[in-house]
Amino acid sequence: MTDFSIRPIPAATLKELRTTDDSGHPLQPFTAGAGQAPLDCVGSPLRCCLRSIEADEAVALVSYAPLRRWAAATGAEPGAYDEAGPVFIHAEDCGGPAETPGYPFARPGALRTLRRYSAQGHILGGRLLELPEEPTVGFDAALEEAFADPEVALVHVRAVEYGCFHFEVRPAAPPTTADGA
């Protein structure tokens, strides 16, 4: 993997989503694989810890507006590009992602859309990516292409099948010295 920062939904945002989601709905947790969801969610991506749902986990399907939240933190004005969509999260704090190499949800043959956004929150383009046998190579190439454009501030990786947000990617922060310079 090249110098990219893969970001799950931030912990502070998850805390808010576990009360009321970005469309104003209260949290409605359920047990994965217990027949309580509108679909069998076992194996679906969790955006809090960037791994797949396992049977018998307490999860919730919430509405999440990643660009809206990023814009609020940065002062961007995404306008019509602001949208909310469904994502699965753990119903309670899970501690976030474990340190694992590579990209989350990177199954060879899976289709992903990589949406590029400017610092103003406007879409600068997108790319359809069918993950090759070595998904890291495919993601690295697509992200290097995206961030070659100096106007690209961040990239959202989404599933093609449902259009839902998987994770955010930003260029990695440059290293700092011990004195913070």
Q: What is the pLDDT of residue 36?
A: 66
Provide the 8-state DSSP code for 175. Answer: P
Which has the higher per-residue pLDDT, 24 or 175?
A: 24
Domain ranges of the chain: 9-90, 111-171
Q: What is the mean pLDDT of the chain?
A: 90
CA distance 155 to 150: 13
Instruction: Please give the pLDDT value at position 174.
Output: 54
- Dihedral in degrees, nearest 10, Cα atoms 29, 33, 38, 39: 130
Please state which of the ranges 18-22, 34-38, 86-90 shows the lowest mean pLDDT.
34-38
